[in-house]
Structure formats: structure tokens, C-alpha cells
Amino acid sequence: MQVSVETTSGLERRMTVVIPAEEIEKEVESRLRSLSRRVKMKGFRPGKVPLSVVASQYGPQVRQEVLSEVTQNSLREAIARENLQLASRPRIEVQNVAPGENYEYTAVFEVFAQFDLAPVKQLKITRPVAEITEQDVDEMVENLRRQRARWEEVQRPAQTGDRVVVDYLGTVDGQPFEGGEAKEVAVVLGEGKFIAGFEEGLHGVRAGDERTLEVTFPEDYRVTELAGRPACFEVRVHSVAESVLPELDEDFVRSYDVADGSLESLRQEVRRNMEDELAQAIRERVKQQVMDELLQANPIELPRSQVEERIDLLMNRMRDTLQRQGMAPEAVQLDRAMFEEQARKQVALQMLTAEIVQQQRLQATPEQVRAKVESLAAAYEQPEEVVRWYYADRQRLASIESMVLEDAVVDWILSQALVNEEPATFGEVMRGRQEAAS
């Protein structure tokens, strides 16, 4: 077997493989002889069919089978011989299949770039250090009260914090648009869930009022046809209601599964949950810093095929999310360029973390994987079923193993890098977490 490899562009390679004709013909003849001893043909006794007759009947099929197997086997052997790390599925182009002549084909594919990791000891990480105060607990308990608040209709003008129930019809250039009409929608003024100007335009309205709101869709609005365009909403107000908080009594406390119904027990439970959230938020912030520093310190060339695959994945996820939110499939128009940067970042991090895993011989032990699964399952009402769901599919479990390995990479980098601790408050850490998620 002769193998030659040439670089066509960037990380793309074109490998030419030539198999001597005698190897092909020998294998074809061997299979035809084996077939002649088993095949049944009219006019011949079993095992007595002449080889020439078998070749005439089955020769093309057998030759194709041989060429297919030779291609796959020789390709694996050639890749291993040339020490290539493929980043894409090879595209096979057959050059010559004429009987009696050397079999020749080319395989076009991308490879992963070779690179040396920058010294991890030079990476600088800032870890926030925060403690939960009694005031933090007070604010969280108030949040719990607001979550259980009831709404009472009022006759006064609407103000921040009120719930306004409205019908609306939106138009752009005088024409209605997909998703621009709704009935009896609850709008809580000040929550910022609607486009800028919508909630603000409802301040001061009363039940029965009608109002025209002039707004502009954000430049990065998810529906590209509406992004950056001015719109007009005709709004009719059904009701205005204010929030009434529940009392911090025993019934309220027990509603959060606090058995003794005491406020102090509720505060203790709230503090424990806040401590878990704080630890998780700090971990996420530090991990994001580690990954950002790792990327900045290691600019590497990325296989285009890997980036394109990741863009497809991100687009499909976004499309599914928008459709679950009620958007019609035909209304979901996504631009691939929107996902380019995120895809490149994810592919680069995957390559860098894989290199660290290999160099440091990091592993995801069964105990670590189990702990991770149970941690994720704890957020559900029936965690045992979630655990079984993960372990019922090898692919699902592989995703957990990847998460464990990624955590191991972060821990190793933190053990080597320059880590500076910075005082912070619970609120600052949690606001940073929300901003990162938005």
C-alpha cells in the first residue's frame, strides 16, 4: 500500500492511497472460490459450479464488497501510519477501480491542529469570597413572601410593582406581525420582561383605559425581521392590581415544608440554601474565568468542520427553545453568523480541555460520575427516576463524564494558577451570576 498526504488548505488534508492490483484480485478470487463451493445454480451439482460461471454471475458484486472493505481497512491503517488526528469524516473519492489495475482512491478530511499549551502557572484568577449576613437572609425571606403574594384589584392609576392585565395588538409600518397580538396578558410593571417602553407606557393607566404605545424592538431581537424596527401597540386595560404580601405566620412557614412552623427554622433552611447557591455561583464565576484565561492564553487553529457542526447544534437548540415558547416554526429565522463566536469558543475549549485531560491523565471515576448525576437529579421531584434515566443510556452518561472531566480540568488549573481572593457580598455574586446567564 502506498500512501501520500498533502495539505490543501489550513487543516484540510488530501490523502492518496494506492492498493496493488494483485491484492485486490487475490481477494476477489478467494471469495469467488469460497462462493463456488456454497452457491446453488440450476444445472450444476452443489459445490461443482465452475469458477468462471460464478465469476460471471457474482463477480461485480464480490469485487464491490472487496473494494469497500479494502477502502475502510486501508484508510484506518493509513491514518494510523501517518499519525493523523481526524477532525472530520473523510470524503472518499475513487480514482481507479479498473480490474487488473492498481486500486486508487483519495480521502479528503480535516485534522486537529498540533499545539503546545501555554504555562498554566501564568494564568490569573480572581475568586470572590463572601459571607451570608442576617440582612441577606431577611431579603431572601421577603422574596419568598413576594413569591406567595396575592393580587388585589385597585382603582388608582398603575404604578411600579402593579400587575396590569391587557389586550394588545402590535403593528410595524401599519401592518400586524406574527406574535404581535395577545389577550389578557399580565404585565408586572418594573419586571422588565417586555421590550423597552412597553411597561413604562402602562404607568398611570386604570381599568378600562386604552393607550397607544410607541416602542422600538432591540437590535438583537430574536426575530430578525423585527430587530431594530419601530412598532406601535394598541393596548386595552382590563384591570390594575397591587401585590399583597402574606403574613410571616406558622401557615406561611409550614408551606415551605418546615415541620415545626417556626420562623427561625425557616431562616435556618433559607440560609442553608443560600450557602449552596453562593458556593455554586462562586464556582461558576471562577470556572468561567479559568476558561476565558485558557482561551486567551492559547489561540489555536480550529477545524472548520467542527465549528460548522457546533453552529448546527446551537441553532437547533435555539430553534427548539423558541418553538417550545410558542413561536411558529416558519417564524424562526436564525442567522448562522449569530452563533459563530460561541461555536468557535466551545470547540476551542473542547480541544484545550481534552489536551489537559490527556497530559495530566485525568479521569472521571464511577464515584464522581454518580455524585454528579445525583447532584443534578436532586433538583427534580423524583430524583431516583432521573438517576435511572441517565444510567439507562450510555450517551447520556457520557455527557456527565465530560462534565466531571471539565470540573477536574478546572480544579487542576486552579491548583497551578495565580488565584487572588477578593471580598464580595452575596448580592454582588448572585447579580453577577444573573448577568452572566442573560
Residues 338 and 384 occupy one common structural domain? yes
| Calpha distance 401→404 (Å, rounded) | 5
Residues 274, 268: Cα–Cα separation, whole Å: 10
- Among 226, 244, 262, give the residue marking a domain's end: 244
Q: Are residues 88 and 168 in the same domain?
A: no
Q: What is the CATH number of the domain that holds 69?
A: 3.30.70.1050
Phi-psi region of 244 (alpha: psi -120 to 50; beta: other; left: phi over 0): beta
- Answer whether 256's CB lies under 8 Å from 266's CB: yes
Q: Are residues 84 and 124 in the same domain?
A: no
| Domain's final residue, options 193, 223, 244 | 244
For residues 188 and 192, what is the distance between their CA atoms, to the nearest angstrom?
8
**Parallel, antiparallel, or unpaired: how do β-strands 210-216 and 12-19 relate?**
unpaired
CATH code where residue 375 lies: 1.10.3120.10
d(C-alpha 116, C-alpha 298), whole Å: 8
pLDDT number for residue 271: 96
| Spatial separation of the C-alpha atoms in residues 294 and 354, rounded to whole Å | 12
- The answer to whether the beta carbons of residues 99 and 10 sit under 8 Å apart is no
The b/e string for 214-249 (b: 16+ C-beta within 10 A; e otherwise) is ebebeeeebbeebeeeebebebebbbbbbeeeeeee
- Whether 124 and 174 share a structural domain: no
For every residue of 106-172, which 3-state class applies, written as one string? EEEEEECCCCCCCCHHHCEEEEEECCCCHHHHHHHHHHHHHHCCEEEECCCCCCCCCEEEEEEEEEE
Residues 104 and 172 in one domain: no
Q: 0.85 exceeded by the pTM?
A: no
Spell out the residues 6+ positions from residue 188 whose beta carbon is closer than 8 angstroms to its own: 161, 162, 163, 164
Specify the pLDDT at position 233: 96
- Indicate the residue among 79, 110, 141 that finishes a domain: 110
The verdict on 80 and 226 lying in the same domain is no
| Domain shared by 379 and 306, yes or no | yes
Rounded to the nearest 10 degrees, the angle between the axes of helix 21-36 and helix 51-81 is: 130
Nearest residue to 22 via CA among 94, 105, 100, 97: 100
What is the number of alpha carbons within 13 Å of residue 404 lying toward its C-beta?
20
- CA–CA distance, 48 with 30 (Å, rounded to integer): 16
My answer on whether 158 and 125 are in the same domain is no
The structural domain count of the chain equals 3
Per-10-residue mean pLDDT, the chain, length 438: 91 95 90 80 72 80 90 94 93 89 94 93 94 96 92 95 96 92 95 93 96 93 89 96 94 92 94 94 95 95 95 91 78 85 95 95 95 92 93 93 94 95 94 78
Domain membership of residue 311 as a residue range: 120-129+276-437
pLDDT for the residue numbered 438: 64
Q: Which residues contact 344 (CB under 8 A, 6 or more apart)?
A: 302, 307, 310
Note whether residue 144 is domain-resident. Answer: no
Picking from 347, 334, 277, the residue whose alpha carbon sits closest to that of residue 305 is 347
Asked whether residue 302 falls in the same domain as residue 420, the answer is yes
281 and 240 inside one domain? no
Query: Is residue 327 located within the same domain as residue 400?
Result: yes
Question: What residues have CB less than 8 Å from 267, skipping those under 6 apart?
Answer: 137, 141
Q: Is there a single domain that holds both residue 32 and residue 180?
A: no
